[in-house]
């Protein structure tokens, strides 16, 4: 009896997970995917996790945002507030504002979710920014990843749009003045501006439509686009496999790192919770967007220190830096260059960032796939261009807080503005020059180390009476980290098959000279040997 029972239950004693996975696989064929992906390697470097920071904070935004939609009412109908916040009792405001106040003061945990949503949104955009900087400075946008750079950058723009639409929803004084600025900027666009503003606001500013329209964009259209693009963006990471830094055993043809199952999954899984935890901690302890201070939107009041959220700051700063008088009436029409110049300037900047991978590929003419990330110093011109771009952006961004800089550092706001005008115009050139020199110097140092080893600090007296410092030679693994990069040289103009030199060729040669005129090549075996002979 007992033996029979044992025998009959033996197959059923298989673990539950085995049974469940078999059940699932028989219906989904998921085994193929798991077998293919489960042991994939994910290269390990702290900066490779920045994109995940963005992804995981987006999940917080999505989940907390869904909770908020259950309580928020995107209506601009006027009501008298009768919630818990004493200094607004009886004040006339829109339903949108009142429902946001109710989320903050009358729903337990509502303020916590609201603060998580807003802090996570700020973190989302910031993480995208930092992730983009990492990709740029390591050249991870090179073939085959140019298109994914474009997707990623589009996500950055969409994230800003998500942020701005969300910032405007509570219909408070701060966001209302933000919309007022948008209205003014749109009106300044030639030909279509007046009508565009009229259509956006459903009539005259502020109208009674804008919150509802922004809400549709904020919770439907933009999130759908963001989710779809994230899927594509991450999908390409799987197809391309992640880049890796040069190192022993790392080849352009392999990808080395902890396997997805289990280590990477555990680390990334844990990382999800760590990011959520950091956001929760910040939301628990730090106020964000206290709309109860700002009060309902009214076109007459405004608060000192009215600024957009950080990611729109650069655009606001650009508006502030324009000197007086850049507006003309010509052909009986108003040309608002005080608005057009910032708009066009920012537009050009965005387009340049967007197409940078294609420009660099064209200059180099390099058609190979690149899976080894550059150390920033090994691409001095690119790194210097990046530093110039960062300086330009930072100058605009700082300009958005010109008044706060003035009060907190006891400066005049006029002085701050003039200084930042200089930073935005001259700063990028200085940053470019300094960065390029620093990169070249670091490359030279690397060469020195490869050729002569590290300085050991030990001084030895030679039999001849000469003092020398003993240099500690590198082991082959360390050496490989320092020599495994490629340098490029300026393009030589050659006539084409018909014996002509095309303009395109000349332009490319000019760019190529600019990029690669100053170049430092990696140490070769021959150099190392002759270097040793020469010195010791």
Check binding of 433 to another protein (CB under 8 A).
Answer: no
Length of the chain: 536
Return the residues of window 226-255 that contact another protein according to CB under 8 A.
239-241, 248-255
- Is residue 377 classed exposed, middle or buried when 0-12, 13-18 and 19+ CB atoms within 10 A define those classes? buried
Minimal distance, residue 23 CB to another protein, in Å:
26
Check binding of 90 to another protein (CB under 8 A).
Answer: yes
Q: Which of 67, 85, 151, 245 binds another protein (CB under 8 A)?
A: 85
6 vs 502, which CB is nearer to another protein? 502
Only one of the segments 221-229, 266-274, 431-439, 464-472 lies at the binding site for another protein (rule: CB under 8 A); that segment is 266-274
Check binding of 299 to another protein (CB under 8 A).
Answer: yes
Question: What does the block give as tokens for 138?
Answer: 């390591």
Whole-angstrom distance, CA of residue 462 vs CA of residue 470: 11
Whole-angstrom distance, CA of residue 395 vs CA of residue 314: 8
Check binding of 257 to another protein (CB under 8 A).
Answer: yes
Q: Which of 119, 137, 141, 432 binds another protein (CB under 8 A)?
A: 119
261 vs 426, which CB is nearer to another protein? 261
- Is residue 48 classed exposed, middle or buried when 0-12, 13-18 and 19+ CB atoms within 10 A define those classes? buried
- CA-angle at 58, arms to 270 and 69, nearest 5°: 120
Return the residues of window 199-228 that contact another protein according to CB under 8 A.
199-207, 209
Return the residues of window 493-512 that contact another protein according to CB under 8 A.
493-494, 496, 505, 512
Residue carrying the six token digits 């749009």: 161
Check binding of 151 to another protein (CB under 8 A).
Answer: no
Whole-angstrom distance, CA of residue 441 vs CA of residue 435: 10
Return the residues of window 96-115 that contact another protein according to CB under 8 A.
104-106, 108-109, 111-112, 115
Only one of the segments 149-157, 360-368, 432-440, 441-449 lies at the binding site for another protein (rule: CB under 8 A); that segment is 360-368
- Is residue 234 classed exposed, middle or buried when 0-12, 13-18 and 19+ CB atoms within 10 A define those classes? middle
Do 115 and 287 touch, CB atoms closer than 8 A? yes
- CA-angle at 30, arms to 28 and 32, nearest 5°: 130
Check binding of 45 to another protein (CB under 8 A).
Answer: yes
- CA-angle at 103, arms to 97 and 109, nearest 5°: 160
Residue carrying the six token digits 């880049």: 243
Check binding of 347 to another protein (CB under 8 A).
Answer: no
Q: Which of 23, 270, 433, 444 binds another protein (CB under 8 A)?
A: 270
Return the residues of window 54-73 that contact another protein according to CB under 8 A.
none
Check binding of 447 to another protein (CB under 8 A).
Answer: no
Only one of the segments 9-17, 61-69, 424-432, 479-487 lies at the binding site for another protein (rule: CB under 8 A); that segment is 479-487
Check binding of 513 to another protein (CB under 8 A).
Answer: no
Only one of the segments 222-230, 291-299, 350-358, 425-433 lies at the binding site for another protein (rule: CB under 8 A); that segment is 291-299
Residues in a beta bridge with 461:
467
Q: If binding means CB under 8 A, how many residues of this protein chain bind another protein?
A: 189
DSSP 61-86: HHHHHHHHHTT------EEE--SS-G
CA distances in angstroms from 498 to 47, 383, 493, 501, listed in the order given? 48, 37, 14, 9
Return the residues of window 387-416 that contact another protein according to CB under 8 A.
400-404, 406-407, 410-415
Check binding of 271 to another protein (CB under 8 A).
Answer: yes
Do 341 and 322 touch, CB atoms closer than 8 A? yes
Query: What kind and span of H or E run contains 93?
Result: strand 92-94
8 vs 394, which CB is nearer to another protein? 394
Question: What does the block give as tokens for 514?
Answer: 């600019």
Strands 328-330 and 454-461: unpaired
Give the SS3 label for residue 373: strand
Residues in a beta bridge with 329:
334
Return the residues of window 161-200 that contact another protein according to CB under 8 A.
173-174, 177, 180-181, 183-185, 187-195, 197-200
Minimal distance, residue 484 CB to another protein, in Å:
7
Q: Which of 267, 345, 440, 448 binds another protein (CB under 8 A)?
A: 267
Q: Which of 100, 307, 381, 391 binds another protein (CB under 8 A)?
A: 307
Q: Which of 281, 351, 352, 507 binds another protein (CB under 8 A)?
A: 281
429 vs 533, which CB is nearer to another protein? 533
Check binding of 136 to another protein (CB under 8 A).
Answer: no
Q: Which of 79, 150, 302, 354 binds another protein (CB under 8 A)?
A: 302
429 vs 519, which CB is nearer to another protein? 519
Query: What kind and span of H or E run contains 458?
Result: strand 454-461
Check binding of 84 to another protein (CB under 8 A).
Answer: yes
Strands (E), 293-388: 328-330, 333-335, 372-373
């Amino acid at each position: 009896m007992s033996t029979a029972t044992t025998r009959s239950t033996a197959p059923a004693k298989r673990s539950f997970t085995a049974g469940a996975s078999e059940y699932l696989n028989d219906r989904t064929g998921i085994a193929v995917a798991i077998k293919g992906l489960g042991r994939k390697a994910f290269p390990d470097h702290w900066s490779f996790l920045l994109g995940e920071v963005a992804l995981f904070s987006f999940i917080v935004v999505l989940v907390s945002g869904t909770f908020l939609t259950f309580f928020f009412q995107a209506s601009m109908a006027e009501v008298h507030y009768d919630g818990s916040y004493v200094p607004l009792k009886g004040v006339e405001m829109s339903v949108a504002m009142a429902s946001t106040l109710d989320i903050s003061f009358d729903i337990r945990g509502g303020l916590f979710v609201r603060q998580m949503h807003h802090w996570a949104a700020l973190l989302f955009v910031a993480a995208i920014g930092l992730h983009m900087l990492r990709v740029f400075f390591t050249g991870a946008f090179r073939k085959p990843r140019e298109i994914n750079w474009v997707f990623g950058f589009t996500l950055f723009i969409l994230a800003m749009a998500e942020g701005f639409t969300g910032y405007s929803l509570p219909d408070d004084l701060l966001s209302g003045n933000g919309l007022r600025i948008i209205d003014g900027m749109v009106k300044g666009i030639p030909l279509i501006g007046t009508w565009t503003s009229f259509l956006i606001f459903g009539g005259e500013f502020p109208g009674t439509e804008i919150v509802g329209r922004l809400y549709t964009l904020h919770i439907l259209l933009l999130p759908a686009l963001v989710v779809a693009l994230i899927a594509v963006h991450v999908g390409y990471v799987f197809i391309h496999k992640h880049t890796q830094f040069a190192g022993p055993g790392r080849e352009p043809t392999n990808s080395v790192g902890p396997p997805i199952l289990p280590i990477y999954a555990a680390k990334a899984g844990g990382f999800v919770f760590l990011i959520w935890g950091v956001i929760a901690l910040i939301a628990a302890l730090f106020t964000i967007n206290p709309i109860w201070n700002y009060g309902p939107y009214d076109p007459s009041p405004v608060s000192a220190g009215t600024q957009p959220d950080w990611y729109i700051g650069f655009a606001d700063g650009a508006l502030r830096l324009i000197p007086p008088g850049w507006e003309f009436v010509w052909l009986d029409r108003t040309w608002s260059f005080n608005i057009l110049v910032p708009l066009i300037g920012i537009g050009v900047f965005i387009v340049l960032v967007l197409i940078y991978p294609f420009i660099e590929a064209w200059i180099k003419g390099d058609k190979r796939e690149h899976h080894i990330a550059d150390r920033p110093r090994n691409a001095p011109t690119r790194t210097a261009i990046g530093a110039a771009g960062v300086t330009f952006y930072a100058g605009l961004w700082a300009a958005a807080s010109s008044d706060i800089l003035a009060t907190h550092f006891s400066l005049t706001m006029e002085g701050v503005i003039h200084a930042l005008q200089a930073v935005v115009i001259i700063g990028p050139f200085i940053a470019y020059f300094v960065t390029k020199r620093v990169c070249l110097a670091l490359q030279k140092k690397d060469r020195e180390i490869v050729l002569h080893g590290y300085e050991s600090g030990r001084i030895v007296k030679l039999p001849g009476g000469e003092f020398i410092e003993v240099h500690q030679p590198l082991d082959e693994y360390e050496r490989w980290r320092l020599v495994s990069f490629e340098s490029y040289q300026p393009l030589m103009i050659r006539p084409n098959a018909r014996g002509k030199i095309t303009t395109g060729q000349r332009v490319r040669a000019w760019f190529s000279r600019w990029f690669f005129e100053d170049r430092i090549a990696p140490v070769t075996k021959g150099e190392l040997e002759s270097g040793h002979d020469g010195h010791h």
